[in-house]
Amino acid sequence: MIRFEHRAIPIALAAVLIDTIGFGIIAPVTPRLLLTLGDGDIEHATRAGGWMLVVFAATQFLAGPVLGNLSDRYGRRPVLIASMLSFGIDYALMAWAPTLAWLFLGRAIAGVAGAVYGPAGSVIADVTPPERRGPAFALIGAAFGLGFIVGPALGGLMSYGGLRAPFIAAAVLALANAAAMFLLMPETLATEHRRPFRLRDAHIVGAFAPLFRAGRAAPLLLGAFLWQLAHMVYPATWGFWATARFGFDARAIGWSLALVGVLSVVVQGGLVGRIIAAIGERRTLIVGLMCGATSFLASAFVTAPWQIVPLFVVGAFAGLAMPAIQGLLSRMVDASHQGQLQGGMGSMGSVAAIVGPLMLTQALATGIDRGFPGAAFLVAGLLGLAAAGIIWWKVLGRVAAPVAPIA
């Protein structure tokens, strides 16, 4: 049984869950929808899907630090509610979209609203003691994983009602969640910890300024960025790769992603806290990165669908990485800058989500053209190894060094 430090935590996690369900519910139908609207082949649809993720990530990159700083000024609650309202409007727009251009517009709107992870992480940092934040941050990953159980499975089933039906369902879920948050969610940021909103801080450099002053954060940030690039291989290429490699339809894509979600919930909801307690955040981080890199590299060379399953199991332990990183970083800043930090982490993830899908979908498309569809997973595995190497060299070697908060 999971015990929450504060009643706001499950409500914030519900926002992450609904956001992920909304993303996952449309994943099974997106390749076919792009094929229909784009009137092209799977290679062109793959490239278009990559560019859609780039648009989403670019707008999220700009919006993430702004929303993080706004949450430090006005509180977490209004920012989360506004994000979920925007998501509802976005999915309704995409359900109607008659052309690719309208789909791209919908992804831009979703990018602005998609900074829900920053405020949700800030809620956890607000109400959780520093020494327990690593396992608490893992709950965000567990909510993400649960969303990837429900979302793709539901999207695959709803595809029987047409390619647009999952978008309508996602809109309803987002709007219902906004209403629930308005009625039930308390504010977690104390008045004395609020600070003025300054536009000059509302960008990725400003968001990480406190960390740069703290020192020793650069290897963590670089490793996190490389890992985020690698981890984009699933959302950016899975549906296209599974279609090209094994001929998966929407339902098969949905159920395979649902299995990823089940394993993610098991690891992040039940094991992260125990593993961090046993070996510490730094070593947990390395274990997570190595499991992820191994899974990606092996996935590049699978020859039958059943081989994916054991690699999913190994890859699920990659979910150890980001909670450990967030736990370490959150202890380097004070209470009044948690929103700024979490917004910056979200913005850095957005940079990865701009570069990653563009790089990985192009690798996949090129690999398909040259007879090696595993090219995207090979690239992701090498990025994961690079992240593990940097953090092993610069962070694990300093395991005895204290992590002290700064003002």
Per mean pLDDT, which of 38-42, 212-216, 251-255, 329-333 is the most reliable? Answer: 251-255
Task: Summarize pLDDT for 296-343 with one digit per residue, the tens.
Answer: 999 999 989 899 999 999 999 988 888 888 777 777 766 666 666 666
User: Which CATH class, in words, describes the domain spanning 8-185+203-394?
Assistant: mainly alpha
What local confidence, expressed as pLDDT, does residue 262 receive? 82
What pTM value is reported for the model?
0.64
CB-count burial class (<10 Å; 0-12, 13-18, 19+) for 172:
middle
Q: CA–CA separation, 282 vs 266, rounded Å?
A: 21
Q: Which two tokens stand for residue 370?
A: 């040259």
What local confidence, expressed as pLDDT, does residue 385 receive? 94
H/E element, 201: none
Task: Summarize pLDDT for 336-388 with one digit per residue, the tens.
Answer: 666 666 666 766 776 777 788 778 988 998 888 888 988 999 999 999 999 99
Confidence of residue 397 (pLDDT cuts 50, 70, 90): low
In this structure, which amino acid lies at residue 338?
Answer: Q
What local confidence, expressed as pLDDT, does residue 387 receive? 92
Residues 18-41, buried b or exposed e (16+ Cβ, 10 A)? bbbbbbbbbbbbbbbbbbebbeee
What local confidence, expressed as pLDDT, does residue 226 receive? 92
Q: CA–CA separation, 384 vs 390, rounded Å?
A: 10
Q: CA–CA separation, 235 vs 264, rounded Å?
A: 14
Confidence of residue 56 (pLDDT cuts 50, 70, 90): confident
